[in-house]
Amino acid sequence: KVVHRHRTATDSTRPGNWLDSEWDNPMQFVLACVSYAVGLGNVWRFPYLCQMHGGGGFLIPYMLMLVLLGVPLFYMELAIGQKMRLGSIGAWRAISPYLGGVGMASVVTSMYLCLYYNVINAWSFWYLFHSFQSVLPWAECPVNSNLTGPVEECERATPTQYFFYRETLDISGSIEENGGIHMGQALCLLLAWIIVYLFIVKGVKSTGKVVYFTATFPYLVLIIYLIRGVTLHGAINGVKYMFTPKMEQLAKPTTWINAATQIFFSLGLGFGSLIAFASYNQYNNNFEKQAIVVSMVNSSTSIFASIVTFSIYGFKATFNYESCLERVRLLLLNTFDLAEDTISLENVNHWIAELNRTHPEQFASLGGRLETCDLEAELDTAVEGTGLAFIVYSEAIKNMPVSQLWSVLYFIMLLLLGMGSMLGNVIAVITPLSDLKFISVLSYLVGLVCLFCLLLGLGFTTRSGNYWFTMFNDYGATFSLLFIVLIEVITVCYIYGIKRFEKDVEDMLGHRLNWYWKIMLAGVSPILLIALFIFYIVNYIQGGTPTYQAWNKELGKSVVTEYPPYAQAFIGLLLASSVCCIPLTALYTYCKKRNLASGKRERTVSTVSA
Amino acid sequence: MRCLRMLVRILVLLYLAGAPALAQTLCQPNASNGYRVRISIKTALGNQAYEWNENEMFLFRATMAFAMRRYYKTETYNVDNIIVCNQTRRVSFWFVVISPENPTMLIPKADVEKAVSMSRHRINNAFLLTDRTLEFLGIYPTLAEPVNPDTPPWLIVFGVVIGAVFAGIIALLVSSLLQKRRKEKGMMEDGQDEEDRQMKGVENGINLDGIYNRGFTDDDRFTKL
């Protein structure tokens, strides 16, 4: 029996000028997915979660969620893209005309991401360029105007914080205080967008070659950093701290929820990038194996990066602890006029007890100047996000020997990770737009999108720009993505039908859907997504007024501040603008179909009567 | 006459005996015109630390006299004009400076401070120490003038990178332009040959131009027997 596969309309290669737009080989596709999924979140979010939720024990919910949620949804998105061979808008419209809005919501969310994500790359460029100096600028406080001492703001905070908040961002006191554009930041943002443009201008032909580098080089840097990290003095403290499992954390529901959200966002589901990447595949590409490979690579990179991060943490904590001990030692020597070699770093604590016993009045006069040095407390300072990447890491780097080299390597790695993810984001916007055929020449479309994002992104380089950045980061893509992917899964499994999906996959791969995929996609993943969704809403309502961390220059630290009403309205707008694409498009299609149907009926009536 | 000479001798003896005592009363901890010095040799030099003894103290007094001489631009100051007291095991002590003309008068604090600040670098180097390890409590070291280059170094690196990027853009434009021109020239010259090739292509059943029709290959994959 010979089965002929018949070609349907959706089988055609890309319309318009996109002939010849396919990945040169499947390896480019895999590397593009790896480059997209392995991003800054693997470096700065996963280690934080690991530390907050019980170290080694966190791996259990993480791996479980990967198997239950991550891999099936990744598989589904690749299948859709490869089958429909269109970007997210076209693909979802082809699956179900009423739910073409899902694609539109993906594009809107990707657009928000494009706007603010490249600002991180701008910061990486800024730090990279400043690493080419004999003394790293964040290693020491600058001197004040009358040369008597360091600048007060730097004195109250630390030099690395001062460099980030004052010299890099020139941050204002709150989101209401606007200011001018920081010229250095604007230049770096311009550079970042020009580079993104160059990488995408020829479509997947250029992107396919770039991802060889952006996907592999960060691993080289991570390995170098691993070797450097574990040989640092005190690194073992950090690694031990991370891997000691605290199993009682597994009893808390937040642990499981954070594991699920981390898997979800780390794989980049729902943005339309995976659909876009897969749409350039050959029809019979074996995406099943590739989905598993990319998900595994992404998760192992997270674990690998957290080993590096924790050895750096351990080094930094040990360094601070030993500096604290040195300061206490000097204080004791100076107050009690003892010879220099009586107190060493090891017996500081012994001497504190001894001196308290023998000279109680003099000891009491020390008062608040005597610090307590605690290694655990230093290790406990868990930081995530831009604070980890730009403040904690640079603080650790400045204490390493040959710090300029390590600084350059580190920021190049951050750049590659960020650029790799940026490629996916911009392609997720460009692919559906080019399918809609607004502008026929690809390079003009890419140029227009990049220019648009650059001009709007300049708003993030103003003095209050970092606060808007945090707002976009926290609200622009979190809730809407959950909703989008939930609708996606329900659409594919119940509206399009799991049977039809099964047939399409069999068509492409040649074998039937495994029971694992069927159970996960139709049952487990939707349930988990609904649970996550409900949790998010409950958390948002319970959280009260949304707040942010404002930098106070008098105190030299961040204070929790409430968003003003117009900012809260903007948050609502961010959330609503992507989510309501779905019902609005459904309504629009329904009205159009009804008008068409009633129009046809009228015409048939008229011909009959005529 | 003999009585007078003996009286003078006694007075001289008393004076010689009392002068150091007088000097000692001038130098006291928390003296109004004195400064406290704290030295941390082992912190600065580690294994190569030298022992603090009377000779080192003599060097200190000589260096201070040198600083006073330099400040006032005279040659009247001597080691005897620097009086030290209250030495501790920490290696910290107080010192005062007495005027060479009048041994009972102390040089005011402000002048001593200015003299020390002026020669701080020389004093530090005499002892192989730094501002942090040879402390004059109350005299703050003036920090080094920050070096302000004309072009900030980061701008230079930025210029290099963006220059490379623009070179890349120009190379891209030029190569695509050359490709287009070559294609046009190619099409005009052997347009006839192209058509022949196309005809041949269709005859062989393989479409060289256009869409590769996958419907007619790999049928075996879907064959179920």
- DSSP symbols for A191-226: HHHHHHHHHHTTTHHHHHHHHHHHHHHHHHHHHHHH
Q: How far apart are the two ends of chain A, measured CA to CA in Å?
A: 52
Q: Which residues contact A250 (CB under 8 A, 6 or more apart)?
A: A54, A57, A60, A61, A256
Residue A17: the pLDDT is 38
- pTM for this structure? 0.82
Q: How would residue A32 be classed by pLDDT, with cut points 50, 70 and 90?
A: very high
Residue A150: the pLDDT is 83
State the average pLDDT over residues A256-274. 89
B165/A5 touch (CB, cutoff 8 Å), yes or no? no
pLDDT higher than 50, residue A13: no
Residue B206: the pLDDT is 47
A339/B89 touch (CB, cutoff 8 Å), yes or no? yes
pLDDT higher than 50, residue B180: yes
CA distances from A556 to A154, A550, B209 (A): 7, 11, 67
Q: Which H/E stretch holds residue A361?
A: helix A360-366
pLDDT higher than 60, residue A10: no
pLDDT higher than 50, residue A9: no
Interface of B with A (CB under 8 A): 38, 40-43, 88-92, 140, 142-146, 153-158, 161-162, 165, 168-169, 172, 210-211, 213-215, 218-219, 221-225
Residue B161: the pLDDT is 92
Phi, psi at residue A8, to the nearest 5°?
-105, 175
Q: Which residues contact A131 (CB under 8 A, 6 or more apart)?
A: A404, A407, A408, A411
Residue of chain A nearest B140, judged by CA positions: A148
Residue A426: the pLDDT is 92
pLDDT higher than 80, residue A300: yes
What is the amino acid identity at position A499? K
Judge whether A287 and A205 are in contact, CB under 8 Å.
Answer: no
Judge whether A188 and B158 are in contact, CB under 8 Å.
Answer: yes
Q: Is B87 left (phi over 0), alpha (psi -120 to 50) or beta?
A: beta
CA B122 – CA A42 distance, rounded (Å): 54
Residues of chain B contacting residue A82, judged by C-beta atoms under 8 Å apart: none
Residues of chain A contacting residue B142, judged by C-beta atoms under 8 Å apart: 147-148
Residues of chain A contacting residue B38, judged by C-beta atoms under 8 Å apart: 334
Residues of chain A contacting residue B94, judged by C-beta atoms under 8 Å apart: none
pLDDT higher than 90, residue A230: no
Q: Which residues contact A572 (CB under 8 A, 6 or more apart)?
A: none
Q: Which H/E stretch holds residue A8?
A: none
Lowest mean pLDDT among A5-14, A300-309, A456-465, B59-68: A5-14
pLDDT higher than 80, residue B131: yes
- What are A87-136's pLDDT values in tens digits? 888 899 889 888 888 999 999 999 999 999 999 999 999 999 999 988 89
Who among A12, A132, A142 is closest to B157 (CB)? A132
B165/A191 touch (CB, cutoff 8 Å), yes or no? yes
Residue of chain A nearest B212, judged by CA positions: A13
Residue ranges for the known binding site of A for Na(+) are: 37-38, 42, 266, 298, 417, 421
A283/B214 touch (CB, cutoff 8 Å), yes or no? yes
Min distance B40 CA to chain A CA atoms (Å): 7
More confident residue, A37 or A246: A37
Q: Which residues contact A351 (CB under 8 A, 6 or more apart)?
A: A332, A342, A343
Q: What does R_g of chain A's alpha carbons equal in angstroms?
A: 28
B106 secondary structure, DSSP code: B
Q: A462: which strand partners?
A: A181
State the average pLDDT over residues A23-51. 90
CA A84 – CA A283 distance, rounded (Å): 9
B143/A194 touch (CB, cutoff 8 Å), yes or no? no
Q: B82: which strand partners?
A: B97
Q: Is the dihedral of CA B157, B161, B162, B167 positive or negative?
A: positive
Mean per-residue pLDDT of chain A: 86
Q: A461: which strand partners?
A: none
State the average pLDDT over residues B68-96. 87
Min distance B110 CA to chain A CA atoms (Å): 17
Lowest mean pLDDT among A218-227, A231-240, A438-447, B80-89: A438-447
Q: B95: which strand partners?
A: B35, B84
Q: B98: which strand partners?
A: B106
Q: Chains A and B: how many Cβ contacts under 8 Å?
A: 94
B90/A339 touch (CB, cutoff 8 Å), yes or no? yes
Exposure pattern of A422-446 as b/e (b: 16+ CB <10 Å)? bbbbbbbbbbbbbbeeeeeebbebb
Min distance B68 CA to chain A CA atoms (Å): 23
A340/B90 touch (CB, cutoff 8 Å), yes or no? yes
CA A508 – CA A490 distance, rounded (Å): 22
State the average pLDDT over residues B73-90. 86
Min distance A560 CA to chain B CA atoms (Å): 33
Mean per-residue pLDDT of chain B: 78
pLDDT higher than 70, residue B58: yes
Residue A487: the pLDDT is 92
| Cα A365 versus chain centre, distance | 50
